[in-house]
Amino acid sequence: MYTKFVVPAIAALSFIAQPALAQDTLKKIKDSGSITIGHRDASSPFSYYDDNQKVVGYAMDLCYKIADAVKKELKLDKLDIKLNPVTSATRIPLIANGTIDLECGSTTNNIERQQQVGFTITHFVTANRFVSKKKNNFKTVDDLKGKTITSTSGTTNIKQITEIDGAKKLGMTITPAKDHAEAFLMVETDRAAAFVMDDILLSTFVANSKAPGDYVISEDALSVEPYGIMLPRGDTAFKKVVDAEMTRIYKSGEINAIYDKWFMKPIPPKNVTLNLPMSAPFKKVVANPTSSGDPKDYQ
């Protein structure tokens, strides 16, 4: 059995994550008898607090299995799991400086981020879209010209929409939100016309909203977003163990039950069913596991 306890998040915004020297994470875990997992508070269904303030989610289930594999690899009788909350802004610095060993959430794996952190096998493939209220009839990003829009601070999504706004000269007012929940609330309360984010996360917020029928997610996709569990950059021994467990989960078919639990069945806290079957791009990953950060490899 694991001992699970929460350790406070540290103030990571006072420094910029730089490519770190290769870490020996397995030795650190063996010496301490613990592994530290970074988790999100509101990235349902990947990593979030349920109504009992327990950290749950699809990515968390995968990370717990990875922890089991690490325990077995190190031949430990016991492995404590420390849970460290992270945000979009702190997750990369906390991996880069060794505070957390794995980051389990909804983090896009791309070439730029691979200069600072490592990623294990992709566990979901989504697309960057926007949610707005149906009554406004926004179909494409061009319809957002001159509007106030929001996205979560520290994400690839806010970077992309900022670049699109500049390239197309749309004159948007882009207001960063501290987290996904705040961003959706801005649309819900008409403080923003649209929330730009990965479509799976948008679908979850709409499904759990007071009036799901009031919202629409754009068909207009701004990018392909492969999600990966982060780990320290350059730690080949640790990545080998983590990748091997992810590959085992996929090849054994175990992934199907884990996926169905979070995307095809009722999930806490409101027992809403997302009803999102496994996509063709992700089925491709399950058949041929990859940790590529190139969107072209998921098309």
Average pLDDT value over all residues in the chain:
93
Q: Where are the domains of the chain?
A: 4-123+228-298, 127-224
Q: What is the mean pLDDT of residues 245-264?
A: 98
Superfamily of 127-224 according to CATH: Periplasmic binding protein-like II (3.40.190.10)
pTM of the model: 0.84
More confident residue, 9 or 280: 280
The residue among 185, 176, 210, 227 whose CA lies nearest residue 57 is 227
Q: 203 near 265, Cβ under 8 Å? A: no
Burial class (CB in 10 A: 0-12, 13-18, 19+), 176: middle
Is the pLDDT score of 128 beyond 90? Answer: yes
SS (H, E, C) 250-267: HHCCHHHHHHHHHHCCCE
pLDDT tens-digit map of 146-156:
999 999 999 99
Question: Which CATH number fits the domain 4-123+228-298, given the four candidates 3.40.50.300, 1.10.533.10, 3.40.50.150, 3.40.190.10?
Answer: 3.40.190.10
Work out the pLDDT band at 21, boundaries 50, 70, 90. Answer: low
Q: Do domains 4-123+228-298 and 127-224 have the same CATH topology?
A: yes
Instruction: Determine the pLDDT at residue 154.
Output: 93
Cβ neighbour number for residue 217 with a 10 Å cutoff: 17
Q: What is the C-alpha to C-alpha distance for residues 233 and 204, in angstroms, rounded to an integer?
A: 31
